[in-house]
Structure 1
Amino acid sequence: MTDSDATAAAHSADAGSERAALEREIGADLRALTAVSDQLGHIFARSNSLRPNDFRALLHIATAEYEGVPLTPGRLGTLMGMSSAAVTYLVERMIESGHLRRAGDESDRRRVLLYHDEPGRAAAEDFFVPVGQSTRAAIADFGVDDLRTTHRVLSAIIEGLGQHFDALGAVSRDQAERTARG
């Protein structure tokens, strides 16, 4: 090994350890973000007489609406790990409280889709618009390139976690089938 090869290997190891340290820091940051978001969610839920699962459902439905792929009750149940009976009960409660509405899927009338209803949307906006203002103030000093990179990193992490969730769901379904067969 030449001196330049040894130097290159040392730089590569340093870069690898720096990357590993940054990945650990990002992981810690995401856990902290999740914890703060969870605390805000609990405050919103309590102030709107919602149960924790009600808020989780609203979060899944809002995310799906934003992505342009509204949820069916079945998909909501999968995301939340709930039986269809439990999801039906939750959805009925949320409709009665004005947080959700059901609508037929225009492309497949057999399917029912879930959306935020206006009273629930207004309550969410009243609470979360100031949260968004605080967030925008916190990132005001970052340039567009920094934000674009951050968005790419977060999108990749979300994609990876989603793939892992789907894999865990497949494992859970396999285990349930084996248990049912005895």
Structure 2
Amino acid sequence: MQSGDERGRAFPRVHESTALLREILTISDEYEVVVAKELDVNHTDLVAMQHLISSGHLTPSDIARRLGITTAAVTVVVDRLVKAGHVRREPNPSDRRGVLVVPDEGSTAKARGLLAPMIMDIDSVAQEFDEGEREVIVRYLQGVVSSYREHLQPPR
């Protein structure tokens, strides 16, 4: 039998830091909705833009792989991003039949402009801690990243 505190919970009680990480992930998803609206794209297109901005350019196949969608579906994503002026297709110098999808500089600047204030606010929180405390925080977050990476693969 569950206690009153555990009813309605998806998981048993976890450490407060784990609960806060879950809250951060939820708020991050909500923030991405705001950014997507500002850029006039849907969530999938925003994630594609994030990959393109961080990589500089990608092939459509690379985008499909990163998004976990088919190459046919990525064509639709790229078409929408081209039409919105967020990316352009360029010939792939290492594959004359292929193309590269390249982020538009103006769209990249707009996206960074939307994200920069939030990123700087988060960074300023880290500055409230001394070097030793920041090292502990970094070690903890590295462990979280490692746990996420381990669980990217389906269970065996």
TM-score, normalised by the number of residues in structure 1: 0.63
Higher relative contact order (CA 8 A, sep 6+): 2
Structure 2 distance, partners of 1:27, 1:41, is: 21
Deviations 1:107-126 (A, max 9, x none): xx126554432121111122
Answer with 1 or 2: which has the greater Rg: 1
Contact 2:53 2:108 in 1 (8 A): no
Q: TM-score, normalised by structure 2?
A: 0.71
Identity in percent: 25
State whether residues 98 and 118 of structure 1, in contact with CA within 8 Å, keep that contact through their aligned partners in structure 2: no
Task: Output the CA distance in 2 between the equivalents of 1:89 and 1:51.
Answer: 12
Q: What is the count of residue pairs matched by the alignment? A: 142
Code of the aligned partner of 1:29: L
Kindly indicate which of the two structures has a greater share of residues assigned to helix. Answer: 1
Rounded Cα–Cα distance in structure 2 between residues aligned with 1:116 and 1:147: 34
Question: What RMSD over aligned residues (CA atoms) do the two structures have, in Å?
Answer: 3.0
Pick the aligned partner of 1:147 from 134, 137, 151.
Answer: 134
CA distance in 1, matches of 2:19, 2:102: 33
Q: Pick from 95, 100, 125 the counterpart of residue 112 of structure 2.
A: 125
Deviations 1:131-182 (A, max 9, x none): 12321232321123333333333234323323422x23x98xxxxxxxxxxx
Long gaps (5+) in structure 2: 1-12
Counterpart for residue 29 of structure 1: 20
